[in-house]
Amino acid sequence: MVYTLSCLNECWKSLPVHRQEDYLFQIRDLYRFAGWWSEPGDTLEKLVRIISGSHCFVAAIREESGMVLGMGRAISDRASDAYIQDIMVRPEVRRQAIASGIMKAIVERLKRDGMTWIGLIAKEGTQPFYRGLGFSEIPGAMPMLRKNESI
């Protein structure tokens, strides 16, 4: 399979509008496949903000069809620390090294930009994948999440 890794947040505005819309629908579907999007507030406009606000937003795109096979992104303070998140690949093309290619591209970019602390939260069962890419558990640390409250 031939695919290209594209940093969408850097080239987004130069893409034709029809290509932007196509990618947005495909990326939204990736979030839905992962079970991360179902809320009414999970809109395409929100997705544009996610892409443009990320330190880097990498998509694996099948060259011949333009299909978005997978994606991942990083957020950072743009000085030293970064978090990788939202690594996902379409179910039918998993186990073809797409996720590791996305991860390597993100880590390479973060290191090139001077990030010295790169973290992530691994979903249960995915630790071996991330260990294989040089990540390890943080002793004494536990991921935490603030509950969403109505104001």
Domain extent listing, the chain: 3-131
Confidence of residue 149 (pLDDT cuts 50, 70, 90): low
Q: Give the pair of three-digit tokens for residue 146.
A: 């603030």
Confidence of residue 12 (pLDDT cuts 50, 70, 90): confident
Residue 84 predicted with pLDDT over 60: yes
CATH number of 3-131: 3.40.630.30
In angstroms, the CA 49 to CA 76 distance is: 15
Kind and range of the H or E run holding 140: none
Residues in the chain: 151
In angstroms, the CA 41 to CA 113 distance is: 32
- What pLDDT is attached to residue 6? 84
Residue 79 predicted with pLDDT over 90: yes
Residue 106 predicted with pLDDT over 60: yes
Predicted TM-score of the model (pTM): 0.90
Q: What is the mean pLDDT of residues 53-65?
A: 93
Q: Give the pair of three-digit tokens for residue 33.
A: 């496949």
Closest CA to 96 of 70, 126, 72: 70
Residue 83 predicted with pLDDT over 80: yes
- What pLDDT is attached to residue 138? 93
Residue 99 predicted with pLDDT over 60: yes
Q: Give the pair of three-digit tokens for residue 86.
A: 């939202």
pLDDT in tens, 26-57: 999 999 998 888 878 789 999 999 999 999 99
